[in-house]
Structure 1
């Protein structure tokens, strides 16, 4: 089970709320384990310990259930303010997120289902990616203004390059890479666009990524 799903199960809630939580947790876990196409209402019911009728009273179909499970896991993220003071801190956070196997599986499952279940990726972007994309553009724009990129670099292109690098990493690199290795990869990609970090970055203490909250911004 995912860390988020496990943390959602708290004692003392009314029975109906416990069923809601169990169903959403089971749906998310099965999505990560098997993918959208191989997840069924019957499997979710068995995993959650409820009947199929209980699920259908809450959700019209499997797609609606999976959409709600994705929204629920990112609900807290949508409330917290997000900004990065510089590229280095942004990459710290991205690397923390991408070093977690569960996060990587989530992204691969959503992109792998885009032809048959496009609503799932759209939900992820709406609930998780849009705000982070804005923060990413602002961070890149400040770095260009501060001379960390060549002045002719286009912020939108830089964002596309960085997000493309994230997708490549998800497909080509092992899930066992740690945050330092992921950050090294992303930094190397940015350096090919002309990025030169400030000299004092090497002297600044390292900060761990914020894991689930940070996220691969616009991916």
Structure 2
């Protein structure tokens, strides 16, 4: 006897509509504006549809934030031991850095970290820390054993510079040129 699931299967298009509405409202109005009632109205769904998929607007926002972050699933590339010079990773980073929508989302996320610290904490735990572990493992695999370098510090330097570029000083040289310089400097620090 096979088990039977109750109800209709989830429609991924509805998930997409809900996450798109959540991101738009988050960028436009912050966390307060991205509540379940407003998200449901903008997505054209019932509130119960959202609650069946996510336990809270925070959980929905965290998933929507991650989906907005990148087009390319970087976790898969790092798990395949793609190095930081891998063109696929570079393309993903350039796409992310150059995306005005993601810049707005990131600015709102950082801006709301004092009034809604749980949102950033949840995002950090669910997405940033697991990704960082993959990055650290991939970088550690190729580090010169003679190099006296702290991999976490190198990661912080690259991420910090990329965030600064993305949020404070976007512009010339191109994002690709800038990222290439960051990667080159990181490789030098790692003894590559």
Task: Give structure 2 stretches of 5+ with no counterpart.
Answer: 1-6
| 1:116-150 residue CA offsets vs partner (Å, 9 max, x unmatched) | 12222223233332332122212332443288xxx
| Equivalent in the alignment of 1:186 | 179
For the pair 1:115 / 2:120, whether they are aligned, the reply is no
Aligned-residue offset at 1:47: 0.9
For the pair 1:161 / 2:157, whether they are aligned, the reply is yes
Q: Is the 8 A contact 2:158 2:186 kept in 1?
A: no
Stretch deviating more after TM superposition (180-189 or 47-56): 47-56
| Equivalent in the alignment of 1:130 | 129
Aligned-residue offset at 1:16: 8.0
* C-alpha distance 163-124 of structure 1, shift in aligned 2 (>3 A): same
* C-alpha distance 51-183 of structure 1, shift in aligned 2 (>3 A): same
TM norm structure 2: 0.67
Q: Is the 8 A contact 2:37 2:47 kept in 1?
A: yes
For residues 10-159 of structure 1, the aligned pairs below 5 Å read 21=15, 22-50=17-45, 64-71=56-63, 74=66, 80=76, 82-83=78-79, 84-89=81-86, 90-145=89-144, 151-159=147-155
| Count of aligned positions | 178
TM norm structure 1: 0.60
Q: Is the 8 A contact 2:62 2:123 kept in 1?
A: yes
Aligned-residue offset at 1:159: 0.9
Could you say what secondary structure the match of 1:145 adopts? Answer: coil
* C-alpha distance 78-100 of structure 1, shift in aligned 2 (>3 A): closer
Q: Is the 8 A contact 1:108 1:170 kept in 2?
A: no
